[in-house]
Amino acid sequence: KANRTFHPENTVVTVGTQTIGGNQLAIIAGPCSVESREQIITIAQEVKSAGAGFLRGGAFKPRSSPYSFQGMQQEGLELLKQARAATGLPIVTEIMSVKQLEEHHEDIDVIQIGARNMQNFDLLKTAGQLNKPILLKRGLSATIEELLMSAEYILAGGNENVILCERGIRTFETYTRNTLDLSAVLAIKKLSHLPVIVDPSHAAGLWWMVEALSKAAVAVGADGVIIEVHQDPSNAKCDGQQSIKPERFARLMQSLREIARIE
| Binds 200: which of ligand PEP, Mn ion, none (CB < 5-8 Å by kind) | none
Question: CB under 5 A: which stretch of 93-101, 114-122, 236-244, 248-256 binds Mn ion?
Answer: 236-244
230 binds ligand PEP (CB under 6 A): no
Which residues within the stretch 128-147 sit at the binding site for ligand PEP (CB under 6 A)? 137
Task: Tell me if 205 sits within 8 A of 242, measured CB to CB.
Answer: yes
What's the rounded Cα separation, in Å, for the pair 52 and 55?
Answer: 7
193 binds ligand PEP (CB under 6 A): no
Task: Tell me if 147 sits within 8 A of 139, measured CB to CB.
Answer: yes
58 binds ligand PEP (CB under 6 A): yes
73 binds ligand PEP (CB under 6 A): no
Three-state DSSP class for residue 47: helix
Question: CB under 5 A: which stretch of 3-11, 35-43, 238-246, 251-259 binds Mn ion?
Answer: 238-246
CB of 165 to Mn ion, least distance (A): 12
What's the rounded Cα separation, in Å, for the pair 74 and 78?
Answer: 6
What's the rounded Cα separation, in Å, for the pair 13 and 21?
Answer: 6
| Binds 158: which of Mn ion, ligand PEP, none (CB < 5-8 Å by kind) | none
What's the rounded Cα separation, in Å, for the pair 38 and 238?
Answer: 17
* Nearer to Mn ion (CB atom), residue 189 or residue 202: 202
115 binds ligand PEP (CB under 6 A): yes
What's the rounded Cα separation, in Å, for the pair 137 and 151?
Answer: 10
Per-residue contact track with ligand PEP, 5 to 34, x per CB under 6 A? ---------------------------x--
Task: Tell me if 54 sits within 8 A of 18, measured CB to CB.
Answer: yes
Q: Please, how many CA atoms are within 13 Å of residue 160, restricted to the half-sphere of its CB?
A: 11
* Nearer to ligand PEP (CB atom), residue 206 or residue 259: 206
177 binds ligand PEP (CB under 6 A): no
**Beta partners for 100?**
none
DSSP state of 116: G
Binding site for ligand PEP (CB under 6 A): 32, 58, 62, 114-116, 137, 167, 199, 202
